[in-house]
Each structure stands twice: as C-alpha cells, then as structure tokens.
C-alpha cells in the first residue's frame, strides 16, 4: 500500500466505513509509516474540533416548535404564514398534482383535507363535507376549469360497508385473504397477522408463502414468516425460507429464516448454506449457517 492510497482511506477508516480487509491493510501501514500515522492524528484532532462545535436543540426551542406545529395543524393563529387555509390549498395542490399516479381512496385524501378542519369546523358546511366523504371511497377521474373560474371534478364513488364475524366464517376468511393482497400495506399487515395462526388451511398457507416470497413490505413478510414457523418441516415452506435467506434484504427476516431452517437437519440445504456463507454480511446468520454446516459434517466452503 502506498502512502497516497493510505491517506485516501483515513477519513473512511475513522468513520468505520472500510471493509475489514482494507482496515487491516491500513492499520498495518499506519503501524509502519510515521507520516501517515500523523495524518491519522490530524483526522482525530479535526474530529475533536468538530465535536466541540456540535449544537443541541434547546428544550425550549423544541417545545416552541411543537406548539407552532400543532397550532398550524389544528388551525391555530400562531403561524400566520402557514394558516390552515393556506395549508389546505397546498394540500389540495399537492393532491391534484399527483392525480396521474393517485389511485388512493378519498379516505386518504380526507386525512389531508379534513384533517385540518375536523377538529375545528362546526356547522352545516363541515357536516356537508363529512357526509360527502365518509360513507364512500371516491376516485377523482378528471378535473377541468370553466370560463367562470369554477372547477368541475368528475368523481367515482364506491360505497363502503362493514362486515363482521369470526375468522372461522369462510366469508370473513376470504375477505381477510383478499386483504393480504391489498395495495395498502397497513391492511396487508393486519390481514397476514390474522391469518398467521391458521396456516393449517392450504389457502392460508399459500397466502403466507406468497407474502413471505413477494411482499414489498418487511412487516408483512415478518408476519408471514411467523405464520409459517409451525410448517418449517414442509418442503415447499423450506424452499421459501431458503429463498428468503438468500434474497431478503431485511436482516431480522434472514435471522429468523436461518433459525427455522437449521433447527432440523436437512442435507438438501447444504448447497444453499455453503453458497450463503460465502456472501452473507450478517454475523449472526453466518455463524448459524457455519454451525449448521459443521453439524452436518459439511464443508463450510465450496470447492
């Protein structure tokens, strides 16, 4: 290693952002090179000087900011430049600007619009707005302005109904299964959470397998993984667990997946585990895999 490349690595070393191999190289060089070692000392001195400059937010400022924010949200008078009406217009502007992409039900838009007014407005106007919005999901299809400055908005309304019943009810279970495929991740999390205790049913198991393998949201995948724990001996479930172990970018999911996979000896997993141990960054997962391979008398490396 040359001094030039060592100097380039010093800031990243200082912030703990080097790979272990590069760290080893640099430490060996610093041990031998006086001038680079002095450069490291200067980096530490710079850090100390910068640390002295750090400011903390004064508690009174924090309290003031919180009060201003909540006043602005609730329509108070403390933030005249961001009064509730301006905010409402801005919120509408933001909503309209995103119409091309937006397929959110108006329940979401209501959070933007009515949220500012809900706590304050009373009387017939508020009631009208509430009645117009609450019982329906509304999608805005088009907006145009007329010559007189009025706005014409075409909306599709879908009425909402509430269904209740136990999870043993096949109708309810079908709705919860449909919920596990909804766009809204909050609905998917709740649905998969309800389904996870019923993995004995083939349809539920398929939904959990699908959620673990494909859901974009880690909280949903985590719930699905919990639901599949009881089926960790099943070949198809083990395939999905192995896939999660290799591909899932969430450390906690990989840690749980490896625990389930190595809990029982399975020689068909040797190849997957050997491959994984070469690439895995997570220390816990790597240790688990190495131990499982040793327990199976398999080599930790590949040939």
CA dihedral 187, 191, 193, 197 (to 10 degrees): 180
**Of residues 61 and 155, the one with the C-beta less far from other proteins:** 61
Contact partners, residue 246, CB within 8 Å, separation at least 6: 272, 275, 276
The smaller minimum CB distance to other proteins, of residues 98 and 233, is found at: 98
Q: Nearest 5 degrees, angle CA 15-CA 21-CA 25?
A: 85
User: What letter would DSSP give residue 269?
Assistant: G
Closer residue to other proteins in complex, CB, 58/166 = 58
How far apart are alpha carbons 216 and 73 in whole angstroms? 32
Tokens, residue 197: 């205790």
Task: Give 185 or 198: the residue with its C-beta nearer to other proteins.
Answer: 185
Which residues contact residue 221 at a Cβ distance below 8 angstroms, ignoring those fewer than 6 apart? 211, 212, 215, 244, 248, 250, 253
For the chain, list the strands marked E by DSSP. Answer: 136-145, 151-159
Q: How far is the CB of 15 from other proteins (least distance, A)?
A: 6
Q: What is the spatial distance between Cα 175 and Cα 163, in angstroms, rounded to a whole number?
A: 9
| 153 and 142 Cβ atoms separated by less than 8 Å | yes
Q: Of the two residues 73 and 140, which places its CB atom closer to other proteins in the complex?
A: 73
Q: How far is the CB of 272 from other proteins (least distance, A)?
A: 25
Nearer to other proteins, 151 or 216 (CB): 216
DSSP string, 41-96: HHHHHHHHHHHHH-----HHHHHHHHHHHHHHHTT-SS-GGG-HHHHHHHHHHHHH
Residue among 53 and 150 whose Cβ is closer to other proteins:
53
CB of 180 to other proteins, least distance (A): 15
Contact between 251 and 283 under an 8 Å Cβ cutoff? The reply is no
Residues contributing to the site for other proteins (CB under 8 A): 8, 11-12, 15, 17, 42-43, 45-50, 52-58, 61-62, 64-66, 68-70, 72-74, 79, 82, 87, 90-91, 94, 98, 104, 108-112, 114-115, 118-119, 184-186, 189, 216-219, 251-252
Q: How far is the CB of 65 from other proteins (least distance, A)?
A: 4
Q: Please, what is the minimum distance in Å from the beta carbon of residue 127 to other proteins?
A: 17
Minimum separation from the CB atom of position 159 to other proteins (A): 19
CB closer to other proteins out of 193 and 266: 193
What is the smallest separation between the CB atom of 112 and other proteins, expressed in angstroms?
A: 6
> Nearest approach, Cβ of 245 to other proteins (angstroms)?
18
CB 277 within 8 A of CB 268: no
């Amino acid at each position: 290693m040359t001094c030039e490349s060592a100097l380039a690595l010093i800031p990243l070393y200082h912030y703990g952002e080097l790979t272990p191999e590069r760290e080893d190289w640099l430490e060996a060089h610093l041990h031998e090179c006086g001038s680079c070692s002095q450069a490291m000392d200067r980096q530490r001195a710079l850090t100390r000087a910068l640390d002295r400059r750090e400011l903390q937010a004064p508690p009174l400022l924090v309290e003031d900011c919180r009060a201003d924010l909540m006043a602005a949200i609730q329509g108070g008078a403390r933030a005249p430049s961001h009064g509730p009406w301006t905010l409402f217009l801005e919120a509408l502007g933001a909503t309209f600007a995103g119409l091309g992409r937006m397929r959110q039900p108006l329940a979401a838009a209501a959070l933007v619009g009515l949220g500012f007014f809900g706590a304050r407005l009373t009387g017939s106007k508020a009631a009208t707005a509430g009645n117009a919005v609450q019982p329906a999901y509304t999608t805005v299809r088009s907006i145009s302005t007329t010559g007189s400055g009025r706005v014409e908005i075409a909306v599709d309304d879908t009425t909402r109904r509430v269904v209740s019943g136990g999870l043993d009810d096949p109708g309810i279970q079908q709705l919860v299964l449909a919920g596990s495929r909804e766009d809204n991740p909050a609905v998917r999390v709740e649905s998969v959470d309800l389904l996870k205790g019923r993995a004995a049913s083939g349809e539920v198991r398929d939904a959990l397998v699908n959620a673990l393998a494909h859901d974009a949201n880690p909280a949903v995948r985590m719930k699905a993984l919990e639901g599949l724990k009881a089926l960790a001996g099943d070949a198809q479930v083990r395939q999905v667990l192995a896939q999660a172990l290799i591909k899932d970018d969430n450390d906690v999911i990989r840690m749980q997946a490896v625990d389930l996979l190595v809990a029982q000896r399975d020689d068909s997993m040797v190849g997957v585990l050997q491959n994984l141990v070469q690439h895995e960054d997570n220390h816990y997962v790597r240790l688990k895999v190495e131990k499982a391979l040793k327990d199976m008398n398999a080599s930790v490396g590949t040939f």
